[in-house]
Amino acid sequence: DAKTTQPTSMDCAEGRAANLPCNHSTISGNEYVYWYRQIHSQGPQYIIHGLKNNETNEMASLIITEDRKSSTLILPHATLRDTAVYYCIVRVGPAFSGGGADGLTFGKGTHLIIQP
Amino acid sequence: DAGVTQSPTHLIKTRGQQVTLRCSPKSGHDTVSWYQQALGQGPQFIFQYYEEEERQRGNFPDRFSGHQFPNYSSELNVNALLLGDSALYLCASRPRVANEKLFFGSGTQLSVL
C-alpha cells in the first residue's frame, strides 16, 4: 500500500469548514483513498473513500487532485464532536484485490482540534 | 441494532501469561479482523477471519492466534505475553458482499505488567 503523509495536528474554529490534507504521491492506479477518524476512547469510524472522482456523503467531502497524488477531507461545518484523530489510508480497492478493505495500514493521522 | 461488541473492556495480565479477547460482529456481518493499537500510534492489522478461517495476516508473531465461530464471533489469543503487548485491541467487522468499509468496536485495553 502506498505511504501517506498528514500533518500531525490542526486547529479549526467551530462552525467553520475543516480541511484536512493528505499526500500520497506514490499511489497506484488501483489504490483508493480511505478516511477514518478515531474519537478518544472509541474505535475508528469510517468517513468516506474514493478512487479519482470527488465524493460527498452525509459526513464529509473528499477532494482528490487530478494526478491523484494528494487529497483533502472537508468537514463542512465542524462541531466540537468532530475533535478526533483523522487517518488517511491508501489501499488497493476490493474491486481490484478480490478481497475486502480489511488489512488497513494506519499511520499516526492528524489530530484535529475544534475550538469553541 | 448493536454494533461491534468486545469483551472485556479492560484487562490486566502478567508477563508470560496467556489472554483471550472476544468480539461479536455487527448484525449481518460475517467477516472479522483484529487490530493492535499501541499508545500514540495508529492501529496495526493483525489478521482477518471469514468462514472460520484466517484469510489475511499482518506482521505479527505466531503468539497471536485467533478463531472464528459458526455464529461469526471471534476470539484473539495471545500467548507468552510481553510487556510490549500492552495496547488497545480493536475488532472490526463487515459483510462479505459490502466490503468497502469496516465497523470497529471500542476495543479491549490490555495491560501487561
- The string of DSSP codes covering B30-97 is -EEEEEEE-TTS--EEEEEEETTEEEEE-S--TTEEEEE-TTS-EEEEE-S--GGG-EEEEEEEE-SS
* A83-113 tens-digit pLDDT: 999 999 998 876 655 555 578 889 999 999 9
Q: In this predicted structure, what is the pLDDT of residue B100?
A: 75
Size of interface A-B (CB pairs under 8 A): 67
Burial label, A72 (beta-carbon count in 10 A; 0-12, 13-18, 19+): middle
Is the Cβ pair B104, A44 closer than 8 Å? Answer: yes
Give the Cα separation of B99 and B22 in Å (integer).
22
Q: Which residue of A has its CA nearest to B91?
A: A43
Is the Cβ pair A108, B56 closer than 8 Å? Answer: no
Shortest alpha-carbon distance between residue B84 and chain A (Å):
18
Question: What DSSP state is assigned to residue A95?
Answer: H
Q: Which three cell numbers stand for residue B86?
A: 500492552
Considering only the beta carbons, identify the residue of B33, B42, B90 that sits closest to A102: B33
CB atoms within 10 A of CB B14: 9
B65 strand-pairing partners: B77
Mean predicted confidence (pLDDT) in A55-81: 96
Mean predicted confidence (pLDDT) in A30-42: 93
- Closest C-alpha among B64, B97, B44 to residue A99: B97
With beta carbons under 8 A apart, name residues in chain A contacting B43: 44, 104, 106
Q: In this predicted structure, what is the pLDDT of residue A101?
A: 57
Q: In this predicted structure, what is the pLDDT of residue A100?
A: 58
Is the Cβ pair B92, A108 closer than 8 Å? Answer: no
CB A102 within 8 A of CB B34: no
Q: Which residue of B has its CA nearest to A51?
A: B100
Is the Cβ pair A106, B42 closer than 8 Å? Answer: yes
Can you tell me which residue has the cell 460482529?
B25
Does residue A34 come out as left (phi exceeding 0), alpha (psi in the -120 to 50 range) or beta?
Answer: beta
Is the Cβ pair B42, A103 closer than 8 Å? Answer: no
Element (H, E) at A96: helix A94-97
Q: In this predicted structure, what is the pLDDT of residue B98?
A: 64
Tens of pLDDT along chain B (113 residues)?
679 999 999 999 999 999 999 999 999 999 999 999 999 999 999 999 989 999 889 999 999 999 999 999 999 999 999 999 999 999 999 887 766 789 999 999 999 99
Chain A interface residues (partner B, CB cutoff 8 A): 34, 41-46, 49, 85, 87, 94, 99-109
- Mean of pLDDT over chain A: 91
Element (H, E) at A114: strand A110-115
Q: In this predicted structure, what is the pLDDT of residue B72?
A: 96
Alpha carbon distances (Å) from A94 to A98, B38, B72:
5, 27, 21
